[in-house]
Amino acid sequence: MAPQLGPSSRRGFTLIELLVVIAIIAVLIGLLVPAVQKVREAANRISCTNNLKQIGLALHHYHDSHKKLPPASLVPYGKLNTNNNLNDDNYLNFTLPFGPNWAVLILPYIEQNALYQQANTSSYPGIPVTPSVVPPYDKVNNSWRSLRGVPIPTYLCPSDPNNQTPYNDPGPNAPKETGWARGNYGVTASYEDYDHVARGAHYVTSSKGPLKGVTATAVMSANYGARFADITDGTSNTLMAAELRAGIAPTDPRGVWALGFPSASIVNAGRAPYNPTPNNSLGDSGSDGDEIQNCYKFWNPAIGSKQRMGCINDKGAIMTSGMARSMHPGGVNCCFADGSTRFIQESIDEYTWGLLLSKADDLVITSEDF
């Protein structure tokens, strides 16, 4: 007679065994997530580099067609250069009827010709303009702004989540034109305040720091685009474009592709203790950021050191300067005037960074930190 089988000897996991398995899975996930994030960031950085290459190529094509680079911005009522020393807030004030910027002017060269035709940039300003006399908004043809809300993929870095939030604060004197699309790249205008180098002016830095006595000379600035022959420091030693971070709030005008002002679509910082190098963490005190001067609308104590955005808690309406910033760990992507791209480490020293931003300072870069 066959032996009788007893009760099944199979048993489930004990609680301790189950907890051990869960712990092992958690450890594996903990090891996997950083690896996935690292791969994703590497892909984003490659995409960002490709964007800058496309921008650099477009700027070269513009130069081929016009025999000079585009102006960083059009501000025809900004005053003319006087004694090689400009100081005019009209170049900095985004509440005035400013014109198209470089990012609008190169649209035909990044396969956006239909949008460029819509902008009809030649219609601006539509009236005779006298330097130093700001015309009324309602007299100026601002029809080019019809493209302000169109996102341009070439102008967006995939690592910056804030570039999906439109800018909605055009200023008290401007029409209620909300919905400005974001961007993450700016052409370079040396390292001084933007008005100091307007119309291609050369400006000797007087601020304390390693750049004191150095002549700031912009590749592009308000109403000015250089010829490559003007870049006497060498196109492989001079930055032409770099990354910018998009604003953290709808009232933050940084990283707005069609807005021709520092930190919106222009990089021009790096002097004295004010924004000495890319991705710096200045700004918390309210007086050392030197980024833009209307941060009071979105100010918080962490905006400088923790969010690495740097700005002044001031109620002004001007944008004086904008440092290169990115969401990439360790530095920013940049495009040189020869069209090449490089990842510049945020550890670069202030002096070297300033010389890279200046096209004709006649000084030799000796550092290998870039």
Find the angle CA(98)-CA(100)-CA(101) to the nearest 5 degrees: 105
- The arithmetic mean of pLDDT across residues 302-322, rounded, is 83
* pLDDT at 186 (0 to 100): 98
* pLDDT at 153 (0 to 100): 97
Length of the chain: 370
| 10 pLDDT above the threshold of 60 | no
Question: Model confidence at 31, in pLDDT bands (50, 70, 90)?
Answer: confident
Are the beta carbons of 181 and 152 closer than 8 angstroms? yes
**Residue 341: beta bridge partners?**
335
Give residue 203's identity as a one-letter amino acid code: Y
- The arithmetic mean of pLDDT across residues 24-36, rounded, is 73
| 257 pLDDT above the threshold of 90 | yes
| 8 pLDDT above the threshold of 70 | no
Considering the domain boundaries, does residue 327 fall inside one?
A: yes
Considering the domain boundaries, does residue 366 fall inside one?
A: no
| 281 pLDDT above the threshold of 90 | no
pTM (2 decimals)?
0.88
Please indicate whether residue 81 or residue 348 has the higher confidence score (pLDDT).
348
Distance CA 226, CA 70 (A): 8
Are the beta carbons of 219 and 328 closer than 8 angstroms? no
For 149-158, the pLDDT digits (tens) are: 999 999 999 9
Please report which helix (H) or strand (E) contains residue 33, including its range: helix 15-66
- The arithmetic mean of pLDDT across residues 1-20, rounded, is 63
Phi/psi class of residue 288: alpha, beta or left (left: φ > 0; alpha: ψ in -120 to 50)?
alpha
* pLDDT at 118 (0 to 100): 94
Considering the domain boundaries, does residue 149 fall inside one?
A: yes
Considering the domain boundaries, does residue 27 fall inside one?
A: no
The single residue listed with the structure tokens 């601006």 is 124
DSSP assignments along 212-277, one per residue: TTPEE--SEEBTEE--GGG-TT-GGGSEEEEE-PPPSSTT--SSBTT--SBTTTEE---BTTBS-S
Considering the domain boundaries, does residue 133 fall inside one?
A: yes
Are the beta carbons of 175 and 137 closer than 8 angstroms? yes
* pLDDT at 359 (0 to 100): 97
Which of 28-37, 58-67, 207-216 ranks highest by mean pLDDT? 58-67
Considering the domain boundaries, does residue 257 fall inside one?
A: yes
* pLDDT at 332 (0 to 100): 97
Whether a cis peptide bond, with omega within 30° of 0, leads into 128 is no
- Which of 265, 262, 294 is closest to 275 using CA atoms? 262
Domain of residue 303: give its range.
35-357
* pLDDT at 35 (0 to 100): 59
Distance CA 242, CA 72 (A): 13
Q: Around Cβ 178, how many Cβ atoms within 10 Å?
A: 13
Considering the domain boundaries, does residue 208 fall inside one?
A: yes
Find the angle CA(125)-CA(128)-CA(131) to the nearest 5 degrees: 90
| 1 pLDDT above the threshold of 60 | no
* Total number of domains constituting the chain: 1
Average pLDDT, rounded, for the chain: 89
Q: Are strands 331-336 and 341-345 parallel, antiparallel or unpaired?
A: antiparallel
Question: Model confidence at 39, in pLDDT bands (50, 70, 90)?
Answer: low
Considering the domain boundaries, does residue 16 fall inside one?
A: no
